[in-house]
Homo-oligomer: A and B are copies of this chain.
């Protein structure tokens, strides 16, 4: 039986490219595409594909969030993340949210077909590039930070001092200082400059 495929990507050229690549492929049935999360969710109420190819960066709700939502509502639908760069932060979040695979947009037709078949069979598919990034993720693992810490991290990045943040959140300067210290420790940074740099590289800001 053919694999029923749906695509969510806001880049028309990519959709057209995949469509064209798979047009001659007998084992794949093209159900359609969506340009954003809402269209995708609307489509799923009508019809369920076997596999969704999902871009991680989209306007509005990101693929990361959409992936979680879809997997909760429709556990039978497998998801393959799709993006241009292999940053561990993205891949990690996508896999944590229930994706079954991850493809880079420079993948070949063979990789694409293999990924679809592997994932449709209920297995995980990661290209070599992507797997390597995840393998080295021990050293570059994204620190687990709390809601409050993230909130304060963002205020710091906006240029606010401890005093300003304290006033803004109606808490004491000491508390802000503690959060700041915990952030530095979690990111293994010795000052705010490198903290901000690393946090931004990890897409946390």
Q: Mark A137-181, 1 if CB is under 8 A from B, else 0.
A: 000000000000000000011110100000000000000000000
Q: Does chain B have a CB within 8 A of A114? A: no
A190 to B16, CA, bound (A): 46
Q: Mark A46-66, 1 if CB is under 8 A from B, else 0.
A: 000000000001000000000
SS class of chain A's interface: helix, strand, loop or mixed? helix
Total residues of chain A contacting the partner, CB 8 A: 37
**Which residue, of A191, A192, A193, has the highest number of chain B Cβ atoms within 10 A?**
A193
Q: Mark A175-205, 1 if CB is under 8 A from B, else 0.
A: 0000000000000011111101100110001
Listed in ascending order, the chain A residues whose CB lies under 8 Å from chain B are 10-21, 35, 57, 84, 105-109, 112, 156-159, 161, 189-194, 196-197, 200-201, 205
